[in-house]
Structure 1
Amino acid sequence: MTPETPEEMLARLVEAVEVIAIIGKGDGPRTAWATWPDPNMIRKVKRQRICSAQEIARAEEAMTWWALIDDIDARRALQYEVMCKAGGGKFTQVCKKYGWERSTVLKRNRVVLKKLSEKLALGDVSRRAA
């Protein structure tokens, strides 16, 4: 089921980052997140658990969503927020480092998530129609 709200989209992306960090997937953080903060910082306590096949599949699906965000700067800002929510640091510090106004970036990220949700919903409709 495709998330419909920006909050659901964000939760799925955070879950994906956490699962990828837990399973230590070799083609995950090092390849897709080369510009992100150190993925090893993500809640090390959670790494003690084992992920189900369903969780891994959901994470892999969510990781493909990044390619649907055309604006590189918008993608990067959202990636930083997701990484921070997954335990990879403090988003306030990231915003200060890049000279971003935190509230503005959060609002823009919600717009990006809404557009992403709409793109995914259109994809679901066209797959069902086929």
Structure 2
Amino acid sequence: MSGMLDSKEIMSRLIEAFVVVASTGKGDGPRSVLSAWPDFRRKIARRRRTFAPRQISDAEEALTWFALVEDPDSRRALQFEIMCKAGGGPFSRTCEKYGWKRSTVTSRNRVVLKQIARKLEGGT
């Protein structure tokens, strides 16, 4: 990966990664990661498209960033927001379902994205 990414770019890359992985329909590789994502919605996967090898490679790289989030609850909340933004339904409905206050979760996710950005650039 070249250059430093900010939290908005990290979010964009993660959303794109989800769309690529969900849309490729591959039974191996990054698609298998989706089975571990909470509440995966198959309607996203139905939008079959083809992607350039570079896009698939970038998606696979972005998915590894979740390993940089040590707290499983924080990782899960970020994954939910990403799935919703990728077309998985309203994030507010997901927050209601889990008893979360949307503004709080969104704020916490911004902090997590900044932490990922710092770790990617070699910080702590």
Please give the secondary structure, in 2, of the residue aligned with 1:105.
Answer: helix
Please say which structure displays the higher CA radius of gyration.
1
8 Å Cα contact 2:68/2:116 also seen in 1: yes
Please give the secondary structure, in 1, of the residue aligned with 2:97.
Answer: helix
Cross-structure match for 1:54: 54
Structure 2: gaps (5+ residues): none
Q: Of Structure 1 and Structure 2, which has the larger fraction of its residues in helix?
A: 1
Structure 1: gaps (5+ residues): 124-130
The TM-score with structure 2 as length reference comes to 0.87
Q: How much identity, in percent, do the aligned residues show? A: 49
Specify whether residues 9 and 33 from structure 1 end up closer, same or farther in structure 2 by C-alpha distance, changes over 3 A only.
Answer: farther
Cα RMSD of the aligned pairs, angstroms, is 1.9
Deviations 1:43-66, CA, capped at 9 Å, x for gaps: 744x2x310000000000001111
Deviations 1:82-124, CA, capped at 9 Å, x for gaps: 000011111101100111010010000000000001000107x
Give the counterpart letter for 1:73 in structure 2: D
Specify whether residues 60 and 99 from structure 1 end up closer, same or farther in structure 2 by C-alpha distance, changes over 3 A only.
Answer: same
Q: How does 1:1-130 map to 2 (within 5 A)?
A: 1=2, 4-27=5-28, 28-42=30-44, 44-45=46-47, 47=48, 49-122=49-122
Deviation at residue 29 of structure 1 after TM alignment: 4.7
- Deviation beyond 6 Å, 4+ runs, structure 1: none
The TM-score with structure 1 as length reference comes to 0.83
